[in-house]
Each structure stands twice: as C-alpha cells, then as structure tokens.
A and B are shown apart, each in its own frame.
Chain A
Amino acid sequence: MGVVPSEAPALAQLRAHPRRLRRVEGITDLIGDTPLVRLNSLDKETPGVEIWAKCEFANPGGSVKDRPALRMITDAMKRGDLRPGMNLIDSTSGNTGIAYSMVGAALGIKVSLVMPSNVTIPRKQVTEAYGTEIIYSDPMLGSDGAIVKVREIVEAEPDRYYYPDQYSNASNPLAHERGTGPEIWAQTRGRVTHFVTGIGTSGTVMGTSRALKAHSKDRDPALGGVVRCMGMEPDDAFHGLEGLKHLASSLVPGIYDAKVLDETIFMPTDEGWDMSERIADQEGLLVGHSAGGNVAAAFRVAKALADEGKPGCVVTVLCDRGDRYFAPLEWERNYLW
C-alpha cells in the first residue's frame, strides 16, 4: 500500500491546481498546460534519477496531437491559406485526425482524412462522430501510402483543399517549442536533464528539444548543463509501435532535423508493449503503445545514469490513453433499454 493522499481544503486545492478549476471560453483553450506525473515504480529502480512523464492524454482530444493541430489550423487561417469554404485534408492514422476533427468542429472547418483501412475501429468512429469525412488508403502501404493519396487528391482540386501536411509544417514543431518545452522546463523547476520521445512526424521531439536546449544553454554543468535530447525510433521497419517511424525505411519528414538530437534510441516493439502493460499495472497509467515505447526509452536512459552513479531528471511524453486502442469500443448512438 502506498501513502494515502490527505484531503486538502478547496481553497488550497485551487492554489495548488489552478488548471483543474479554470474556466475557458471554448474547447481549444483547453489544449496544452498538461500535468507532469512522476513514474514512481520505475524510478525506485534508478536511485538518484527521477523519471517524469507529460500527460498529453489530458488534452481535450485525448492526445499530444491537439497541440500541433490547433497551431497548424490557426496559423493557416492567419496566413489566409485556409479560407472559409475550404476543406482541411491530411493523412493520419488516428490521433492527428481526431485533433483536426475536434478543432475543425469547434472552429467551423470541414475536415477530410486519408488513413490506411486497417486503423482501429474506434478511431474511425471518433473522427466520424465529429462530422469528418474518411477516405481509405491501402493498408499494405501504411502511412506513406496515405500521404501519397492525399497529394493526389489535393493536386486534382487545389482550390478545394487545404493540406497542412503535418510532416512538413513548421507550425507542428512550433506548437511544442512554444508549449510542451517551456511547460516541462517550468514543471521541473528547470531541473530536467534528459528528454526523450518517439519520432512520428518528429514534431514533438524537434520542438520540445529546441525549447529545452534554449532554456538550459547557460545552465551550470553541475546542475545538468544543456538538456540532452533523444529521439526514439522502432528498431525495425516492420514494427508495432503505432504512430512511430523507422526513419531509415520511411519518407523522412521535412520538419525532421537530425542536428537537434543528441542521440536516437532504437526500441523493439515488445519492449514498448511490455512497458505499456507494466505502467498500467504498477502506475495506474493505461496509455498507448507509443507512450509505452517512450517510457521504456526513458527507463533505459535513467538506468544508464543510475548505473554510472549520476543524478538526473528524465522526462518523456505519454502521447495518448490506452483505451483508444480497445477495438470493440463502439459508440451506441441508439441506446436500448
């Protein structure tokens, strides 16, 4: 049994957790400012090294993708690239599609998504519930096949579609450079020493790393020096870490810049899946497999530090919740009593 949290009076709670009690003008104002949670069961095994995770599942669309989706859409509206009457179209295997659908619905923008036909059933249903149109691509060709199909559609009707292209859109990493990164810096009180997260579009790792490096550039080496930033990729082209890319065998995203990263960790699918199960069981965190891969990578980094007797504060990202991957989850539009 762990320590039972004591009940705090309402006012003390308001001071301690203002985010929980805030009031906003619309759902897009709830994107970002996510909590940072300590992974207690893991860092018990890494003495002197703390492991923390950014709870991106706490975004209103349920994933880290709310951040880039909002930024890409609002930046495109400001530039005049996304105009009234146009459809937003992009390729996505899920979370970005849900985020586009939510932001699109809130801001009155029609959304069309191209996805491989083997994406999980709840994902299709969630995006459709927001009024989004889904166009399927060949499951054998994965996410690259979906990208190719979007390009064909946009080329045929360029005035009808705005294509944000999350893989090449600077607003994607910028959402993290202005949001996720500074939040982690503030939440760790400037103590973060290592940051690691998986590479999908690479937006999260690029933007967050840039911000953390900028914040720590003059930090005393005795206090951790410049934050060490690492990407995580599946260890093979044929893998099951949904959302992540094995770059050597993929279309490399335009926003990916290898110079931003100090290192890349190659993660076997089984190690990531096992970690998802472990943190659900031991931390009460039921998260998706990419988040499991991220935590597995953070655990490796923390273990290596602890083995060398070095202190550290390792931060990673919990991209989404595990229940998003429960296949039989079906929305009952018509309740039967």
Chain B
Amino acid sequence: MATVRIPPPLRKYTGGAEDVEVQGGTVRELLDALEGAHPGIKERICDDSGAVRRFVNVFVADEDIRFLDELDTAVSDKDEVSIIPAIAGGR
C-alpha cells in the first residue's frame, strides 16, 4: 500500500490523519481509493472533469505528476504521494 501525505487543510476528511495508506497502481486509482475511504476529499483535489485542480500539485516520490504521466503515473507500494496546494497563507 502506498502512503499519501495529507496537507492540514484536508485532514478534516481523514479524521486528522497526516498519512493515509491506500491501495492503487496509479495516482488515479489511489485518489479513487482515498475517496472511498474518506468521502469528499477527491472533490477538493480534482475538478468536475476529474483532472487535478490547477492550484494543486501532486508529487510521487518528490516528482510532480505533471512532469510524469499525470493521473496515470505509476505508484509502487513503497512510494510516498504528497498532495500540496500551490501555496497558501499570509503574504
């Protein structure tokens, strides 16, 4: 199972958990599994068409999936996946 790091603003969906372990061979499958376990979270990360929102960055082992295979980026069990807003907070 891959580990997904959840940023603080989304931890309300994971009961406060910082890391969540979910099953999936690609980022898309991981996000679907994440939604299954924590309903509501995927809508914050992806838009209506299913694409990752413009202001959200998803990293697989420190690589931005926009420079890999986007949602089809392969994920192995030992990978850590991070969901990070482009930036947030005071100027």
Interface, chain A (partner B; CB < 8 A): 63, 65, 91-96, 116, 118-120, 139-144, 146-147, 166-167, 200-201, 234, 236-246, 249-250, 253, 269-270, 273, 290, 319
**In the assembled complex, which residues on chain B have CB atoms less than 8 Å from the CB atom of A166?**
90
Write out, one digit per residue, whether chain B residues 67-91 have a CB within 8 A of any chain A CB (1) or not (0).
0000000000000001011111111
Chain B interface residue count, CB cutoff 8 Å, equals: 22
Tell me which of B54, B56, B82, B89 contacts A142 (CB under 8 A): B89
What's the minimum C-beta distance from B16 to chain A, rounded to whole angstroms?
A: 13
**What residues on A are CB-neighbors of B86 within 8 Å?**
118, 240, 242
B5 touches A92 (CB 8 A): no
B12, B55, B82, B84: the one within 8 Å of A239 (CB)? B55
Check B90–A167 contact: CB distance below 8 A.
Answer: yes
Q: Beyond the given A144-B8, A200-B89, please list 20 additional residue pairs across the A-B interface where CB-CB is below 8 A.
A: A63-B91, A65-B91, A92-B90, A93-B89, A116-B87, A118-B86, A119-B87, A120-B87, A140-B5, A142-B88, A142-B89, A146-B89, A201-B91, A234-B88, A240-B54, A240-B85, A243-B87, A243-B91, A253-B90, A269-B55
Would you call A250 and B89 a contact (CB within 8 A)?
A: yes
Task: Note all chain A residues with C-beta closer than 8 A to B5.
Answer: 140
Chain A residues lying within 8 Å of B47, measured Cβ to Cβ, are 270
Quick check: A238 and B44 within 8 Å, CB to CB? yes
- Is B9 within 8 A of A249, CB to CB? yes
Point out the residues of chain B lying under 8 angstroms from A319, CB to CB: 91
Contacts known (A238-B44, A239-B85, A240-B56); A141 close to B8, Cβ less than 8 A: yes
Query: Which residues of the other chain, B, contact A245 by a CB distance below 8 angstroms?
Result: 88-90
Among B57, B84, B88: residue with most chain A CB under 10 A: B88
B7 at the interface (CB under 8 A from A): yes
On B, residues with C-beta under 8 Å from A are 5, 7-10, 12, 44, 47, 53-57, 82, 84-91
- A contact residues around B7 at 8 Å (CB): 140, 142, 238
Bound-state Cα–Cα, A142 to B89, Å = 6
Which residue in chain B gives the minimum CB-CB distance to A143?
B89
What residues of A have a CB within 8 angstroms of the CB of B90 in the complex? Answer: 91-93, 96, 143, 147, 166-167, 200-201, 243, 245, 253
Query: Which residue of chain B is the closest to A242 with respect to CB atoms?
Result: B87
Report if A273-B91 is in contact (Cβ < 8 Å); known contacts: A240-B86, A249-B9.
Answer: no
Central interface residue in A91, A238, A240, A245, by most chain B CB within 10 Å: A238
B91 contacts which of A142, A200, A246 (Cβ < 8 Å)?
Answer: A200
The 22 listed contacts between A and B (C-beta, < 8 Å) are: A93-B89, A96-B90, A118-B87, A142-B85, A166-B90, A200-B89, A201-B90, A234-B88, A236-B9, A238-B7, A239-B55, A240-B53, A240-B87, A242-B86, A245-B90, A246-B9, A270-B47, A270-B53, A270-B54, A273-B54, A290-B91, A319-B91
Whether A139 contacts B91 by the Cβ 8 Å rule is: no
Chain B residues, CB < 8 A from A142 = 7-9, 85, 87-89
| B7, B10, B57, B85 — most chain A CB neighbours (10 Å) | B85
* Cα separation A145 to B82 with both chains bound (whole Å): 17
CB of B31, distance to nearest CB on chain A (Å): 14
